[in-house]
Amino acid sequence: MKHYSVLKKEAVDNLNINSEGIYVDATLGYAGDSLEILRKLKRGFLFAFDQDLEAINYSEKELTRIGHNFKLIHSNFVNLKEELAKLNVTKVDGILFDLGLSSPQIDNPKRGFSFMSDATLDMRMNKDQKLDAKYIVNNYSEKELINIFFKYGEEKFSKNIAKNICLKRAVEEIARTNELVEIIRLSVPYKYFKEHHPERKIFQAIRIAVNQELDSLEKVLPDAIDLLNKGGRICVITFHSLEDRIVKQIFKKYSDIDPIVKGLKDIPDDYKPIIKLINKKPIVPKEEELEENSRSKSAKLRVIERL
């Protein structure tokens, strides 16, 4: 199964792995990053999270070829702290978040993630959850759809697209990806559709809503910071501006001195920053990587270290 991990070397190198440390891959996927982390661990241990059982089953076989000092956890990374606590793990030395979809997920038409192939509207990372793309498209109100398309897709024709979805579903259920693409195509000017690909933005927006991706990210980052040992690092790879904005803002909040005491000669410990930014500007893929994998072009890596 072919999967390409974007910014893999940069992310794993920036974890500063101690061969005896405890590390977390919060987004296992098809084990691209986990394999690299596990290769660097001697007496250390790796915990890896994923909602997708297919990814877990595939990755277990791959990782076992390298070692047995790992545990895979079938759960959304939003439950990071809680799931690790069940295993009596309260501190770790590094956490990696790679927020991109794995190629096998995008390329498998049955999953319904891609607007480029016809499939049932699904988009669930966790196949056990009830909420899927088809339910959102056919049951959410016009106002709710507009909100999702504006907020998560930043699409300027959101109102038109939502209105036409509601008109279409009043006649018959919208069940397939190509039906949704056709509604989007007819809802925007021809030139705009060809040049700006609003279907990409609408599919992204629905996928984020189905999997509650941004809410989960906002909730988990403070927990992840709290889990770090002194000197421990968090690496986050984002793929669109909404994710990157959340990561940047949370990292800024925890790396800044509290405004209440800024300028004081002796700042009390409770008001001091608890992390430092390793890179002020995000790390982006090099030219060779962009040539090798076009899907990497929007990727950004941010890194922090616990003080």
From the candidate CATH numbers 3.40.50.360, 1.10.150.170, 3.90.226.10, 3.40.50.2300, the one assigned to the domain spanning 112-211: 1.10.150.170
Q: Where are the alpha helices (DSSP H) in the chain?
A: 8-14, 32-40, 53-64, 80-86, 103-107, 133-139, 142-153, 158-171, 177-187, 190-196, 198-211, 213-227, 241-255, 287-292
The pLDDT tens digits of the residues spanning 147-201 come to 999 999 999 999 999 999 999 999 999 999 999 999 999 999 999 999 999 999 9
Residues contacting residue 224 through CB under 8 Å, at least 6 positions apart? 26, 80, 95, 97, 234
Say how many C-beta atoms besides its own lie within 10 A of residue 88's C-beta. 6
Task: Name 277's bridge partners.
Answer: 304
pTM: 0.87
- Give the DSSP H or E segment for 72: strand 70-74
pLDDT at position 228: 98
How far is the C-alpha of 51 from the C-alpha of 57, rounded, in Å? 11
**Using an 8 Å Cβ cutoff, are 251 and 278 in contact?**
no
Domain with CATH 1.10.150.170 in the chain: 112-211
pLDDT at position 1: 47
Say how many C-beta atoms besides its own lie within 10 A of residue 6's C-beta. 22
Mean pLDDT of 131-138: 96
The pLDDT tens digits of the residues spanning 232-280 come to 999 999 998 999 999 999 999 999 887 777 778 788 877 788 999 999 8
How far is the C-alpha of 149 from the C-alpha of 158, rounded, in Å? 5
CA 236 to chain centre: 9
**Using an 8 Å Cβ cutoff, are 216 and 76 in contact?**
yes
The structural architecture, per CATH, of the domain 8-104+213-306 is: 3-Layer(aba) Sandwich (3.40)
Domain with CATH 3.40.50.150 in the chain: 8-104+213-306
Indicate whether 138 pLDDT > 60: yes
Say how many C-beta atoms besides its own lie within 10 A of residue 98's C-beta. 26
